[in-house]
């Protein structure tokens, strides 16, 4: 389940920015591109053909990223990179949520009440302007105390993991890794306050609450693995559908479209032609955080759709409420109706079941919607996770 094992991923990536991200780039004289996204919206961001997972997560952590979009004629030759990208997005989303949750817990704690009482001229609340660079310097000069605070948080967590007989050794290693990784992502302010009040009774009460939050987010991390497998399975199905539709169009019945699924030479030939014609699949992650509209914050939306022109046809149909030749269903219904030759239906249902269960266990709301235009073979799949 560890995300971002590779130092560099090779995928054509559009990173679209929030207002905060756009302002940062403009202020620092960084060039931005104006993109037309697959859902026909104008957005500003950057294009990368290779990237560092750590850099993407860092931009997500400070709420600079609104959407990540990747497109290709085929994805199966880059299966591992797609899975790694999916996991790093989910982990980045959870790291940011964890940091926000811990920050809110600190702000609402007795520690801050005491601070505000002792420092009436420097009241701290969620709207306070905090100089992270200054705090980083302060913390660097008190590294030993910060390390002690981290161990105060981690030691009971590590002990609970190591003595949990229901966990396999590999699972224990994952949890140990995650426990430290989550703490690494916390903003300097949190470490400053905890270090300042270390040893007080309020400090120990707060640490107990922080450990519970950490445990909860470590459990939520399981979603990253199941979601990445689900996405890969859906992309495989969409890729096979595209291949068969294209083969039927160019060969006009002279070749059985199913042949392209098993004849690698023919498959590569058609994929090359599709690439020349810019026939693509699109995969996007829409990241909705504190800068999003009310009611949509803390939501991750994954969308898989086919060629842009046909997607616009579908979008217009939905927007105009013209339901002719359009069928909407949830993902479970979609899988049960798929032809066996098109994809491994049992595998898709297996991943979907695990994803559903993983979300239910950690109280994450998972919804899926599939829209299909049968005449064109276009399928648009949306997976919504509300954390």
DSSP string, 201-216: HHHHHHHHHHHHHHHH
Give the separation between CA 325 and CA 117, rounded to whole angstroms.
65
- pLDDT tens, residue by residue, 185-229: 999 999 999 998 998 888 999 999 999 999 999 999 999 999 999
DSSP label of 242: H
Place of tokens 């990536």: 13
Kindly give, in sequence order, each residue whose CB lies less than 8 Å from that of residue 302, ignoring residues fewer than 6 positions away.
86, 227, 231, 283, 284, 285, 286, 382, 383, 384, 385
Q: What is the pLDDT confidence band of residue 3, given thresholds at 50, 70 and 90?
A: very low
Q: Is residue 270 included in any domain, yes or no?
A: yes
In the predicted model, is pLDDT for residue 147 greater than 90? yes
Q: Is 252 left (phi over 0), alpha (psi -120 to 50) or beta?
A: left
334 shares a domain with 287: yes
pLDDT of residue 343: 52
201 shares a domain with 326: no
Report the number of distinct structural domains present in the chain. Answer: 2
- pLDDT tens, residue by residue, 113-125: 988 998 898 899 9
Q: Is residue 230 included in any domain, yes or no?
A: yes
Residue 169, classified by CB atoms within 10 Å of its CB into exposed (0-12), middle (13-18) or buried (19+), is exposed
pLDDT of residue 23: 95
Output the CA–CA distances (angstroms, integers) from residue 195 to 12, 70, 125, 185, in the order listed.
Answer: 43, 42, 18, 16
DSSP label of 51: B
In the predicted model, is pLDDT for residue 1 greater than 90? no
Q: Is residue 252 included in any domain, yes or no?
A: yes
Per-residue pLDDT averaged across 253-275, rounded? 87
The answer to whether 90 touches 299, Cβ cutoff 8 Å, is: no
274 shares a domain with 182: no
241 shares a domain with 195: no
pLDDT of residue 324: 40
366 shares a domain with 295: yes
pLDDT of residue 260: 84
90-101 in b/e form (b: 16+ CB < 10 A) is: bbbbbbbbbbbb
pLDDT of residue 322: 39
Mapped onto helix, strand or coil, the DSSP state of residue 195 is helix
What's the domain range around 20?
13-95+222-386
153 shares a domain with 296: no
Place of tokens 């905060």: 20
Give the separation between CA 88 and CA 57, rounded to whole angstroms.
7
Give the separation between CA 240 and CA 254, rounded to whole angstroms.
18
Q: Is residue 2 included in any domain, yes or no?
A: no
335 shares a domain with 246: yes
Output the CA–CA distances (angstroms, integers) from residue 380 to 35, 144, 312, in the order listed.
Answer: 21, 52, 11
Average pLDDT of the chain?
86
Q: Is residue 84 included in any domain, yes or no?
A: yes
Kindly give, in sequence order, each residue whose CB lies less than 8 Å from that of residue 180, ignoring residues fewer than 6 positions away.
154
């Amino acid at each position: 389940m560890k995300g971002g094992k590779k130092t560099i991923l090779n995928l054509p990536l559009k990173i679209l920015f929030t207002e905060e991200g756009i302002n940062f780039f403009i202020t620092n004289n960084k060039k931005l591109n104006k993109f037309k996204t697959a859902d026909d919206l104008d957005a500003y961001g950057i294009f990368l053909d290779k990237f560092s997972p750590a850099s993407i997560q860092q931009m997500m952590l400070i709420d600079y990223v609104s959407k990540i979009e990747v497109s290709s004629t085929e994805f199966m030759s880059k299966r591992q990179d797609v899975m790694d990208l999916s996991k790093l997005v989910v982990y980045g989303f959870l790291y940011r949520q964890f940091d926000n949750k811990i920050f809110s817990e600190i702000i609402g704690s007795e520690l801050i009440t005491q601070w505000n009482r002792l420092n009436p001229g420097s009241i701290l609340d969620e709207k306070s302007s905090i100089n992270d660079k200054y705090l980083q310097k302060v913390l660097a000069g008190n590294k030993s105390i910060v390390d002690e605070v981290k161990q105060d948080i981690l030691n009971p967590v590590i002990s609970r993991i190591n003595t949990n007989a229901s966990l396999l050794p590999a699972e224990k290693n994952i949890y140990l890794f995650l426990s430290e990784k989550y703490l690494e992502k916390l903003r300097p302010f949190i470490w400053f306050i905890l270090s300042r009040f270390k040893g007080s009774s309020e400090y120990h009460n707060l640490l107990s609450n922080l450990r519970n939050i950490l445990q909860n987010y470590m459990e939520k991390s399981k979603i990253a693995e199941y979601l990445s497998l689900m996405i890969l399975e859906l992309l495989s199905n969409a890729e096979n559908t595209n291949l068969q539709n294209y083969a039927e169009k160019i060969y006009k019945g002279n070749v059985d479209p199913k042949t392209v699924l098993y004849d690698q030479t023919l498959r590569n030939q058609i994929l090359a032609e599709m690439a020349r014609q810019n026939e693509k699949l699109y995969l996007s992650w829409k990241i909705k955080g504190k800068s999003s509209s009310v009611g949509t914050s803390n939501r991750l939306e994954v969308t898989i759709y086919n060629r842009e022109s046909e997607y616009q046809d579908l979008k217009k149909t939905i927007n105009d409420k013209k339901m002719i030749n359009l069928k909407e269903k949830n993902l479970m219904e979609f899988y049960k109706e798929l032809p066996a030759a098109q994809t491994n239906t049992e595998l898709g249902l297996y991943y979907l079941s695990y994803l559903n269960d993983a979300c239910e266990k950690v109280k994450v709301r998972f919804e899926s919607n599939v829209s299909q235009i049968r005449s064109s073979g276009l399928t648009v799949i949306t997976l919504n996770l509300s954390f």
